[in-house]
Chains A and B, each alone.
Chain A
Amino acid sequence: MKVSKWSENLFGTPIFDPVVTASFMFPLLYLVAFLIIPVLTMLAVAFEYNGHFSFHWFTSILTSNYYISKPTGEFYRLITMPNGEQIYYVQGVDFGVIINSLLVSISVMILTTILGTVFAFVMARYDFPGKNIVRILLFVPLLVTPFVNVFIVKKMFLPNGLINWLFFDILHIFPHRIVIDGLVGVIIAQTMTYYPIVYLNAYASFINIDPTLEEQAENLGSSSFHLFRTVTFPLALPGIAAGATLVGIFSLEDLAAPIVFQGNALARKLMSFQIYSAFTSGFNVGSPQLAALALIMLTIAILMFLGIRKYVSLRQYAMLSKGGRWKPRVAKPKGWQAILIYLVVLPMLLISIFPQVGVVLLAFSESWSGTWPQGFTTAHIQSIITQPDIERVIMNSVMYSTAAIIVILLLSLTASYASSRFKKSKLGPVLDSLSTIPIAVPGIVIAMSYFFFFAKVFPDTPLDPTNLLGFNPAMILVLAYSIRRLPFAARSISAGIQQVHVSLEEAALNLGAGRWKALTGILMPLILLNLLGGAMLSFVYCMSETSVGITLGSINPEYYPITARMVELMTSAVGSANLAAALGVFLMTVQIIAIVLANVITKQRYSFIGLT
């Protein structure tokens, strides 16, 4: 036998091996078939006009006032209420759909960065009475309750909502009551939903800074804010920037906030909502102009993603330090620091967890029209088990999610095994990029491209979304869930594989085992905890996935996943928001159980990145 150059080039092992080959080819083919080709199908639609290749749909978007315009409207207005009281009504300015989306995304990035970095710095560097309670409270905003938490945010900013009660009625800080709506409403809601992502990244970055680097700076005479500005913050910046970019992408693709605020015309003028509303209105879905819009959205997200990858890889300071764990630098806050922590940071935290608290209150209340909900009832919670339509959507979601995690585990295990063990492979980098790129593919873009792909390739079958009531979204949802979740699951499994020294597998090979035995008998048992943790967090993610669930998943009521029913409840008659909140409580319970289990089993601090 001779070494084969092509096997070494393709799969990084000079001797052809079926297990290695399969580990590369399964995730590669899967991603090509269910990510690349569907997007290309959409691409083909967007670039076709009258049977020819054309930029027509793009130029028609980019030249239209609807999509890009000069700022119109006033950022805020002073409105006189029927009772004669004046209130500020803040909604933002219209720059056209594309610019609006970008501005919202950038604003959310900035706000979440400030909020997340401040919380992280306080938690990483200060020791103060009540810190442990704060640590637990910080987990609350991570809980995902699609739509309902945004609904609560909206309520908080109504004239009689919590914010105005607190800052106008009690503290008299606001000159007038402030109501937020439109783009500003979307920005505030997304900030409150996504700041934990920056918080987690920033916290990890602060904790990972070698204390001697700060001590040396202090030793040379730096202190306080100067130290933070010149050493601590620059060292943590790559991590913070990565978190912020993730938030920017999530903001771009977010549907929950625009849907909840859609009563305001400005909130509807966002790219994600434009595509979504085509799905709900039924006609116009297959429009090539929307395909073009989806591609513009995809391009923006991917550029943001590639930008941050380049930036972070250029500045991997964290990796430079000597490794090893150290005791992080923690200090007792002094004077003004303590005042800031107790009077600014903690109240901000309490406000930021109110949406999740509000979801629970809403689920257990009879009505909620004033500042606080009225009347305690368990009726909504009971409907989860008694109402057949609710029971059905839960069963559907459980089925889709269970199927999806099997696929996700297979995909992420093979992909991470291939790319972390066979580094000489020329396919490795391709597989790496392909399996991380779904981070940058908005869910609504996946929904859109699946629409074109399955309608074209499987016409008049249950896989064809234009088949309406003949359409069964089960397989499509499982595909979408698995593709969307892959980057996150693969990352946690890669981390596990990297902790297992390669010599453990080599020792098995050397003693006579084949690749299959070394993989299943040595590597998999050793990363079992990572696999279990990954499975549980993926399950949670799939249960609350929004974008694809409320578009392709909401065509046929019989096959609704939970989120499809939730969005229906949120947008229909008064009172059904309580039932949506009950579903939100159900999802939170599932998440808490999964996170606690994952933490107990893996003895690691896992947190669930709240994205849908």
Chain B
Amino acid sequence: MVDVKLENIVKTFGETVALKGIDLHIKAGELFTLLGPSGCGKSTTLRIIAGLDFPDSGTIYFGDEEVTYLPSSKRGAVLVFQNYALWPHMTVFDNVAYGLKLKKLSKDEIRKKVEWALELVKLKGFEDRYPTQLSGGQQQRVAIARALVVEPKVLLLDEPLSNLDAKLRLEMRSEIRRIQRELGITVIYVTHDQEEAMAISDRIAVMNVGTVEQVGTPKEIYESPRTEFVASFMGKTNVIPARVVERNGDRVSVEFEGIRLDGLHYTDKSDDVVIVIRPERIQLKPVENAVSFTGTVDLIEYYGFFIEVVGLFGDTRIIARTISDREVAGLRPLQEVTFYVERDDIIILPRQQL
């Protein structure tokens, strides 16, 4: 169990720059997630940590040891592949025992460790099966057992749930969390699913086109996004282009579609901004210390356990979400509607070239 440090990692593939100087510090024993859309460089980062690819420049440390150019086989950062990469010509036992055999352990020790690992992933009794005889979830567990059994310094998981169906995904998610807590191992987890990332991680790094946009706990990332990209990537959010029209210390007034909102917190120099409001923070009834804006109802969408009201303000659509049927009872499309948002629930961020 070690901490992992990446310093200024740059990687190019031909003409395209995949990683533009990544700095990360993953603490020992935490479950750290690299989150981002496809092509953001998260898998490349993982492969570089695994030693399957090498950076053009930059340094990687496991603890105090520099491992930047150490071959994968000598690194102890074991990857669970997205497609599991189970060897179809070997039984479950032989798959899991593979790394141990390379370490030249005695037969007895290998048997004991494999048993331990299979028990950990709840697959005891499947030793003699071949991978093709297992379900997707079971294959996933074998892949995890095969990685854990060699007692890796770091466990790397590359989109481990992407090949599973929705129900199994939830089950394996908590399973992975349980194993990680039980062993106290450092885990680096790659996913493009923000919900999965928030549910499972101690900390998250949100990546976008080869850079890290923000590192923080799920709560920090969700509630205090530091860039427009992070705000818009983390769930369904209203991101409204606006301009700063007046500054008063760290409070500003912004304007969009002729609507002026006063007394909002903002410190950046740029006047070209976006207003970020989570749909569930918008209320349909007056509240204290709130700004309000009035427009017309465009759509009312019924999702079951919540309802969304899409309001039209000039040409801008803003989504409000509520769990109360009663609040929307009287609303009809084309009617006038007023949205109320507490000032603390509004985030103003400089506009980003996305």
Q: Is A522 an interface residue (CB 8 A)?
A: yes
Give the nearest-CB partner of B156 in chain A: A510
Residues of B within 8 A of A503 (CB): 81-83, 85
Determine which of A14, A507, A525 lies in contact with B85 in the assembled complex, contact meaning CB atoms within 8 Å: A507
Contact A509–B69 (Cβ < 8 Å): no
Instruction: Tell me whether A517 is interfacial, beta carbon within 8 Å.
Output: yes
- B73 and A512 contacting across the interface, CB-CB below 8 Å: yes
B99 at the interface (CB under 8 A from A): yes
Task: Check: B39 CB closer than 8 A to any chain A CB.
Answer: no
Could you say which of B73, B83, B87 contacts A509, with CB atoms under 8 Å apart? B73
Q: Which residues of chain B have C-beta atoms less than 8 A from A2's C-beta? A: 69
Which listed residue (A501, A509, A522) contacts B72, Cβ 8 A? A509
Q: Which residues of A contact B147 (CB under 8 A)?
A: 511
User: Can you name the residue of chain B whose Cβ is closest to the Cβ of A507?
Assistant: B85
Q: For residue B87, which residues in chain A have a CB less than 8 angstroms away from its CB?
A: 504, 507-508, 522, 526
Report whether B89 and A512 are in contact in the complex, using a CB–CB cutoff of 8 Å.
Answer: no
Q: Most chain-A Cβ atoms within 10 A of its Cβ — which of B70, B79, B82? A: B79
B4 vs chain A, min Cβ distance (A): 16
Query: With the chains together, A507 CA to B85 CA distance in Å?
Result: 7
Complex Cα spacing A522 to B146, Å: 15
Q: Mark B277-316, 1 if CB is under 8 A from A, else 0.
A: 0000000000000000000000000000000000000000
6 A-B pairs closest in CB distance: A511-B99, A503-B85, A507-B85, A512-B102, A503-B81, A1-B69
Q: Pick from B51, B78, B102 the residue with the most CB of A within 10 Å.
A: B102
B43 CB → nearest A CB, Å: 12
Contact (A506, B73) CB under 8 Å given A15-B54, A512-B99: no
Binary contact track A494-526/B, C-beta < 8 Å → 1, others 0: 000000010110111111111001000010011
How big is chain A's contact interface, by range?
20 to 34
With A3-B54, A503-B85, A517-B102 in contact, do A510 and B69 touch (Cβ < 8 Å)? Answer: no
Contacts A15-B69, A503-B83; A508 near B89 (Cβ below 8 A): no
Question: A2, A503, A507, A514: which has the most chain B beta carbons within 10 Å?
Answer: A507
Q: Give 18 A-B pairs besides A506-B85, A507-B87 with Cβ atoms closer than 8 angstroms.
A: A3-B69, A14-B54, A15-B54, A15-B69, A507-B79, A507-B146, A508-B98, A510-B72, A510-B77, A511-B73, A511-B78, A511-B99, A511-B146, A512-B73, A512-B99, A512-B150, A513-B102, A514-B73
- Bound-complex Cα distance A338 to B78 (A): 62
Instruction: Bits for B64-101, please: 1 = Cβ < 8 Å to A, else 0.
Output: 00000111111001110111010111000000001100
Shortest CB distance B71–A (Å):
6
Q: Is B52 part of the binding interface, using a Cβ–Cβ cutoff of 8 Å?
A: yes
Q: Does B118 contact A (CB under 8 A)?
A: no
The distance from the CB of B157 to the nearest CB of chain A, in whole angstroms, is: 13
A1 touches B150 (CB 8 A): no
Judge if B50 is at the interface, Cβ distance under 8 Å: yes
Find chain B residues with CB under 8 A from A510 CB: 50-52, 72-73, 77-79
B167 at the interface (CB under 8 A from A): no
B204 to chain A, nearest CB (A): 24
CA distance A69 to B83 in the complex (A): 64
Asked, given contacts A506-B81, A517-B102, whether A511 binds B150 with beta carbons under 8 Å apart, the answer is yes
Residues of B within 8 A of A (CB): 50-52, 54, 69-74, 77-79, 81-83, 85, 87-89, 98-99, 102-103, 146-147, 150
Q: Which residue of A lies closest to B95 (CB)?
A: A507
Known pairs A1-B69, A503-B83, A517-B102; A512 contacts B54 (CB<8 A): no
A56 shortest CB reach to chain B, Å: 48
> Can you list 30 A-B contacts (CB < 8 A)?
A14-B54, A501-B85, A503-B85, A504-B87, A506-B52, A506-B85, A507-B79, A507-B81, A507-B146, A508-B98, A509-B72, A509-B73, A510-B50, A510-B52, A510-B72, A510-B73, A510-B77, A511-B73, A511-B78, A511-B99, A511-B146, A511-B147, A511-B150, A512-B74, A512-B102, A512-B150, A513-B73, A517-B102, A525-B89, A526-B89
* B50 CB contacts on chain A under 8 angstroms: 510
- Which residues on A sit within 8 Å (CB–CB) of B54? 3, 14-15
Q: Which residues of B have CB within 8 Å of A507?
A: 79, 81, 85, 87, 146
**Shortest Cβ distance from B76 into A: residue:** A512
Contact residues in B for A501 (Cβ distance below 8 Å): 83, 85
* A189 CA / B189 CA spacing, docked (Å): 65
Which residues of the other chain, A, contact B103 by a CB distance below 8 angstroms? 512
The one of A506, A511, A514 that contacts B98, using a Cβ cutoff of 8 Å: A511
Whether the pair A506, B102 counts as a contact (CB closer than 8 A) is no
- Nearest Cβ on chain A to B214's Cβ, whole angstroms: 29
Contacts of A3 in B (CB 8 A): 54, 69
Q: What A residues does B77 contact at CB under 8 A?
A: 510
Please, which residue of chain B has its CB at the minimum distance from the CB of A503? B85
Chain A residue numbers with a CB within 8 Å of B83 are: 501, 503
Contacts of B89 in A (CB 8 A): 525-526
Chain B positions within 8 Å of A512 at CB level: 73-74, 99, 102-103, 150
Q: Which residue of chain B has its CB nearest to the CB of A14?
A: B54
A12, B71: Cα distance in complex, Å: 15
A511 touching B102, Cβ below 8 Å = yes
Q: How far is the CA of A504 from the CA of B78 in the complex (A)?
A: 13
B99 shortest CB reach to chain A, Å: 4
Chain A residues in 8 Å Cβ range of B150: 511-512
Cα(A506)–Cα(B99), bound, Å: 13
Q: In the complex, A65 Cα to B103 Cα: how many Å?
A: 75
A1: chain B residues within 8 A (beta carbon) = 69-70
CA distance A1 to B65 in the complex (A): 13
B58 to chain A: closest CB distance in Å?
12
Q: How far is the CB of B150 from chain A (nearest CB, A)?
A: 6
The complex places the Cα of A1 from the Cα of B99 at a distance, in Å, of 24
Assembly CA distance A510 to B46 (angstroms): 12
Q: How far is the CB of B84 from chain A (nearest CB, A)?
A: 8
- Enumerate chain B residues within 8 angstroms of A504, measured Cβ to Cβ: 85, 87
Query: How near does chain A come to B70, taking the closest CB pair, in angstroms?
Result: 7
Q: Are A509 and B102 closer than 8 Å at their CB atoms?
A: no
Q: Per-residue 0/1 for A3-45: is the Cβ within 8 Å of any B Cβ (1 yes, 0 no)? A: 1000000000011000000000000000000000000000000
A525 to chain B: closest CB distance in Å? 5
Residue in B52, B74, B103 whose Cβ sees the most chain A Cβ within 10 Å? B52
